[in-house]
Amino acid sequence: MKSYNIPPVKLYLGSDGMQALGGKRIEETIRKMGVTSPLTLVPPMVLGANDLTLYEMATAYGSFMTGGWKLDSHTVTQISDSQGNVLFDYRKDHNPPVRALEERTVQAMNRMLVQVPEWGTARRAALEGIRAAGKTGTTSRYVDAWFVGYTGNYVAAVWYGNDNNSVTNRMTGGSVPAMTWQKFMTYAHQNIELLPVPFVDDPFPGAPAGSKKETVAETQAEEAPILRPKTLGEPAQEMLRELEQKLRQAKPVTANRVVADSARMAVPDGNSIAR
């Protein structure tokens, strides 16, 4: 909740009669949660020494949102041909669920992580009317700033940093990343049935007794009737067309050996999550 670094290191190495977890057990667990990037199994891995993608982070934290099931992350929901025949529909053709974490593990983690936006390092990520959970991350020298969070409905990961791997102006995961996550999730939860984070008490604080999910969803819809468009507006479509054209015309990027080497050498400290 407070992003102290000593406890996870003690868990890795073992301390005060406690058996060491070691890198192999940690790797086995996060592989089940959806992480696929190469991992270096050393003590700094628990502080974020390995490079991960936003997609992997969101997928992994999705296991907390689902109650321990691996999030079947995907980018395509449906494919149809020119005649309208549906060739693929994720809702019918998706993979069977796979358990990644035991329920008691998810229960302990969720009850801890819901406190991070409430009185921990991510108070700027707190949502009104629904308890959210998540974790901040800040790598050494303030190069990267993260917030990965979830509700019972959605999981999202936010990263801020400079493309040239230079330091930020002391940005932490609990500042702009948490604020960005809060604004995005507030919009995403408009006009939907709110679902609780599994195994947490009072998931909808301030809601009347009874069917809390329906009550909060209806109240939120009345107070903020923001309807998300089913299709993109013309300005957004034009912007995407321009972006597509620029990407097609862009020259191949050559590897920057200096930046790559410095990224590999960086070992995070303080409130860290892997980049």
Surface-to-core class of residue 220, CB atoms within 10 Å of its CB (0-12 exposed, 13-18 middle, 19+ buried): buried
Per-block average pLDDT, block size 10, for the chain (275 residues)? Answer: 90 88 95 96 92 95 98 92 92 92 97 96 96 94 96 97 94 97 95 95 80 41 46 79 86 60 47 43
pLDDT value for 255: 55
Q: How far apart are CA 163 and CA 62, in angstroms?
A: 27
Q: Is the dihedral of CA 226, 178, 120, 148 positive or negative?
A: positive
pLDDT value for 225: 44
- 221: Cβ contacts below 8 Å, ≥ 6 apart: 190, 191
Provide the whole-model pTM.
0.75
| Identity of the amino acid at 126 | A
pLDDT value for 226: 45
Give residue limits of the domains in the chain.
52-265
Domain 52-265 adopts which CATH fold? Beta-lactamase (3.40.710)
Q: Is the dihedral of CA 23, 28, 29, 33 positive or negative?
A: positive
